[in-house]
Structure 1
Amino acid sequence: MERFLTVKPKSELISKYISYYYFHDSDDEGFYRSFVFFPHFKHGFTVYKQGADFRTLYTMNYDRQIPVELKGRFQKLGVAFKPLGMNHFVTNFNSGLYDPETFHFPHWNPEIFPELEEIFQAEGMDQKRDLLDSLFEKRFRLNTGLEILEQALSRIFSTFGTIRADDLASEIGVNRKTLLRHFKKHLGCSIEEYKKVVKFRTSIQAASSNGLKNLTEVSLYSLYYNQSDFTNRFKELTGQTPGAFFTSIQKMGEEDIFWKFDE
């Protein structure tokens, strides 16, 4: 049997930096599913448990489909960090703490394994959530050097990713090169890459939650220049037209997780 559940942090501190947790598992030895997930401005910390072994991964994905295969019995834990969230739990995040090709993230290993074991063994989502909140509270370290980026991200989200980079830098009171350096250092991407994925995710949210009736309404809500721009951006990020994309994805749980499963 396959199960997938999502839950938000209860801790007031942790909820500022983590959007939600999810748990995905199967107790079927013959289980097999393959899927892809798509670009997001949220970063993901993922733990796979098979038997007594843990595999810890981290993903920053702004520009591609990433394939996943799940086989046999497994337990999986996911943590969705809000923008800049992880930057408050590790120092100098983009300094080789994870492998961008394999997504291997050994930074907390093996000290974290006993806590992870307790989380996987816990009965009930409330207990699992509380243990996760505690795990991250222990590792919290306020990063006070993110003010420029916090201002920039606020404007990017409020404009659905349409603000020009030069205008963004001007509003914040820094030059464009300085702003780009902050993006590269703390988010691992360019300003344009980040804007693009914010607009993409705005479209998905509009289509799934705002009751929009057709793709033209989604395009207009998300402030794409025109229908051609809407189509081209979706092809660039998903390899599909918007129509094909929205009919192929499946929402998992109660949050903004959308996967495309292979038939």
Structure 2
Amino acid sequence: MERFVTVKPKNELIATYISYYYFHEADEADPNRGFVFYPHFKHGFTAYKTENSIITRYTMNYDRQIRVELPEPFQKLGVAFHPLGINHFISEPVQKLHHKETLEFSHWNPDIYPELDEIFQAGNPEQKRDLLDQLFEKRFRINPDLNITQQAIGHIFSSFGTIQVDELAEKIGVNRKTLLRHFRKHLDCSIEEYKKVVKFRTSIQAAINMGMKNLTEVSLYSLYYDQSDFTNRFKELTGQTPGNFFSSVQKMGEEDIFWKFDG
């Protein structure tokens, strides 16, 4: 049997930086079990528990489709961080900790493993949530270096990803070089990459969460230049046309998780 559930943090401080947790598990092996996930402006920390080990990963995915295979019985927990959320729980810039190809993340190891094992053994999602809240509260730290990047993100979202870099720098009151350096340091991507993902996820929200059925309406709401631009950007990020993408993905839980499963 396979189970999936999402739950919000209960701790108010942690909820400021973490959007939600999810718990995914399967009791039986399935050699065909696998899925693809797509770019997002939220970052994800995941931990997998198999019979012999716990494996941790951290995903900052701005530009590609990533396939996950889960053939063996497993327990998995996921943490979806709000933009810049992870930066309040680490002691180094995320740019230094992120391994784009392997997704390896060992910053909190090995002391985090006993805590993760306790979470995996907890009886229900609410207990797991409370333990995760405690795990992150212990690691919380103030990071005053995020102000410039935080302001930039706010303007990018309010403009649906259409604001230009020079205008962004002017609104914040810094020069272009400083803005680009802070953005790369704390998000490990360019502003243009981030803008593309914001528009992409805005269109998903419009089509699925807001119930917009007409793809032209979705593209206009998301402020794409025209239908061709909308289609090209979707192909770039998902390898599919918007129509094929929306007909193939499955929403998981109650949050913004959209996976494409095999078969």
Which residue of the partner structure matches residue 149 of structure 1? 149
Q: Is the 8 A contact 1:119 1:128 kept in 2?
A: yes
Q: Is the 8 A contact 1:31 1:73 kept in 2?
A: no
- TM-score, scaled to structure 1: 0.97
User: Displacement, 1:93?
Assistant: 2.7
In structure 2, relative to structure 1, the CA distance for the partners of 1:110 and 1:145 (3 Å cut) is same
Q: Say yes or no: does 1:75 pair with 2:75.
A: yes
In structure 2, relative to structure 1, the CA distance for the partners of 1:32 and 1:26 (3 Å cut) is farther
Q: Say yes or no: does 1:194 pair with 2:230.
A: no
Distance in 1, Cα, partners of 2:191 & 2:95: 19
Equivalence map 1:77-156=2 (5 Å): 77-156=77-156
Distance in 1, Cα, partners of 2:237 & 2:94: 23
Give 3-state SS (helix, strand or coil) of 1:14's partner.
helix
Q: Say yes or no: does 1:44 pair with 2:44.
A: yes
Which residue of the partner structure matches residue 15 of structure 1? 15
User: Displacement, 1:92?
Assistant: 2.0
Amino acid at match of 1:173: G
Q: Is the 8 A contact 1:19 1:80 kept in 2?
A: yes
- TM-score, scaled to structure 2: 0.97
Distance in 2, Cα, partners of 1:30 & 1:184: 39
Which residue of the partner structure matches residue 56 of structure 1? 56
Distance in 1, Cα, partners of 2:33 & 2:123: 25
Distance in 2, Cα, partners of 1:120 & 1:31: 23
Which residue of the partner structure matches residue 211 of structure 1? 211
1:74-112 C-alpha deviation (Å, 9 max, x unpaired) = 000000011000000002233532422111111111111
Distance in 1, Cα, partners of 2:197 & 2:28: 36
The farther-off stretch of 131-140 and 240-249 is: 240-249
Amino acid at match of 2:215: L
Q: Which runs of 5+ in 1 are unaligned?
A: none
Distance in 1, Cα, partners of 2:113 & 2:67: 26
Which residue of the partner structure matches residue 29 of structure 1? 29
Amino acid at match of 2:100: P
Amino acid at match of 1:207: A
Which residue of the partner structure matches residue 221 of structure 2? 221
The farther-off stretch of 29-38 and 226-235 is: 29-38
User: Displacement, 1:73?
Assistant: 0.7
Identity %: 72
The farther-off stretch of 72-81 and 99-108 is: 99-108
Distance in 2, Cα, partners of 1:31 & 1:254: 27
User: Displacement, 1:262?
Assistant: 1.9
Q: Which runs of 5+ in 2 are unaligned?
A: none
How many residue pairs get aligned? The number is: 263
Distance in 2, Cα, partners of 1:159 & 1:230: 17
Amino acid at match of 2:115: E
